[in-house]
Amino acid sequence: MIPKVEHDLCIGCGSCEAVCPSIFELGDDNGLSHVIEGADCNLSDCCEQAVEECPAGAISFGEE
């Protein structure tokens, strides 16, 4: 599973990066969240928690 951040919804709070730093990072574009290149939630156990803790509901999953 590959996570996707909807930048129209992201508020740049950093909760996803805090719970899942191997997958998410805040960018230089107003602090919006981005998925780290090559990140794959199948290799990490924190993606679902990041989705649940996102207050804006900006994270979803898609297939590669």
Question: How many structural domains does the chain have?
Answer: 1
Answering whether pTM is above 0.85, one says yes
pLDDT digits (tens, 9 = 90+) for 6-34: 999 999 999 999 999 999 999 998 899 99
In a domain, 38, yes or no: yes
In a domain, 21, yes or no: yes
- For residue 44 the two structure tokens come to 């990490």
Torsion of CA 41, 43, 47, 48, to 10 degrees: 90
In a domain, 63, yes or no: no
In a domain, 64, yes or no: no
Percentage of the residues of the chain whose pLDDT score is greater than 90: 75
CATH number, position 11:
3.30.70.20
Domain that holds residue 28: 2-57
In a domain, 31, yes or no: yes
In a domain, 62, yes or no: no
